A and B are shown apart, each in its own frame.
Chain A
Amino acid sequence: MNSLKYHAQFQRDKMMDNGPDSSILCRELKWLMEDAVEDHSLFSKMGFENSDEKVKMRVGIEELYNLWKERIEKRRPFQYVVGCEHWRELVLSVQEGVLIPRPETELIVDFVCDVVSKNEDLKRGVWADLGTGSGALAIGIGRALGIGGRVVAADISPVSVAVAAYNVQRYCLQDKIEVREGSWFEPLKDMEGKLAGLVSNPPYIPSKEISGLQAEVGRHEPRVALDGGVDGMDALFHLCDGAALFLKPGGFFAFETNGEQQCRDLVDYMKNKRSESLCNFEIVADFAGIQRFVIGFHH
Chain B
Amino acid sequence: MAECSEDKDMLNMATEEIGQVVEEERRLQNLLLKSLLPKDDADERDSILEVRAGTGGEEASLFAMDIFRMYEKYAHQKGWKFEVVDIAQSDHKGYKEASATIAGSGVFGKLKFESGIHRVQRVPATEKLGRIHTSAVSVAILPQADVVDVQLKNDDLKIDTYRSGGSGGQHANTTNSAVRVTHIPTGIVVAIQDERSQHSNKAKALKVLCAKLYEMERSRLHSNRSKLRSEQIGSGDRSERIRTYNFPQGRVTDHRVGITYHSIDDVMQGESLDVFIDALLLQEEIDAIATFSSSQ
A→B interface (CB under 8 Å):
18, 20-21, 24, 27-28, 31, 44, 48, 77-79, 86-90, 99-100, 102-104, 106, 201, 203-205, 209, 213-214, 216-217, 221, 225-226, 256-259, 286-290, 292
Contact = CB atoms under 8 A, between A and B. Distances in A.
Given A258-B167, A288-B168, A290-B168, A89 B174 contact: no
A80 B210 CA distance: 36
A287 B167 contact: no
Given A18-B164, A225-B170, 18 more contacts: A24-B176, A27-B194, A48-B69, A78-B175, A79-B173, A79-B175, A86-B196, A88-B197, A102-B169, A102-B170, A106-B197, A106-B199, A204-B169, A209-B171, A256-B169, A259-B169, A286-B169, A292-B168
B170 A99 contact: yes
B84 A44 contact: yes
B197 A89 contact: yes
Contacts of A216: 173
B170 A205 contact: yes
Interface-central residue, B161, B173, B175, B177, by most chain A CB under 10 Å: B173
B76 to A, nearest CB: 9
B257 interface: no
A87 B168 contact: no
The main secondary structure of chain A at its interface with chain B is loop
Contacts of B200: 86, 88-89
B68 to A, nearest CB: 10
Interface in B80-124: 84
B291 interface: no
B171 A217 contact: yes
Contact of B171 (A90, A99, A205): A205
Contacts of A213: 171
Contact of B170 (A20, A24, A106, A203): A203
Nearest to A28: B175
Interface in B169-205: 169-177, 179, 194-200, 203
B27 interface: no
B93 to A, nearest CB: 9
B164 A31 contact: no
B142 to A, nearest CB: 22
A27 B175 CA distance: 9
Interface in B186-234: 194-200, 203
B165 interface: yes
The main secondary structure of chain B at its interface with chain A is loop
A32 to B, nearest CB: 10
A27 B174 CA distance: 11
A132 to B, nearest CB: 15
A44 B164 CA distance: 29
A217 B168 CA distance: 11
Given A288-B163, A289-B160, A20 B174 contact: yes
Contacts of B174: 20, 24, 103
Contacts of A214: 171-173
A209 B167 CA distance: 11
Given A88-B199, A89-B199, A287-B161, A226 B177 contact: no
B150 interface: no
Interface in B8-37: none
B159 interface: yes
A217 B161 contact: no
A144 B192 CA distance: 25
B265 to A, nearest CB: 14
A32 B177 CA distance: 16
Given A27-B175, A86-B200, A89-B199, A217 B170 contact: yes
Contact of A18 (B84, B161, B166, B179): B166
Contact of A106 (B168, B194, B195, B198): B198
B169 A217 contact: no
A261 to B, nearest CB: 11
Contact of B173 (A104, A217, A225, A286): A217
A20 B164 CA distance: 10
Q: 8 closest A-B pairs (Cβ-Cβ)?
A: A86-B196, A216-B173, A103-B198, A88-B199, A86-B197, A287-B161, A18-B166, A103-B177
B166 A103 contact: no
A221 B196 CA distance: 20
Contacts of B172: 18, 102, 214, 217
Nearest to A105: B169
Given A104-B168, A205-B170, A87 B199 contact: yes
18 contacts: A18-B172, A24-B174, A24-B176, A78-B173, A78-B175, A88-B199, A103-B199, A201-B170, A214-B173, A225-B170, A257-B169, A259-B169, A287-B160, A288-B163, A288-B168, A290-B167, A292-B168, A292-B169
A129 B30 CA distance: 64
B173 A287 contact: no
Nearest to B194: A27
A88 B201 CA distance: 9
A31 B175 contact: yes
Interface in B48-103: 69, 84
Contact of A87 (B69, B159, B173, B197): B197
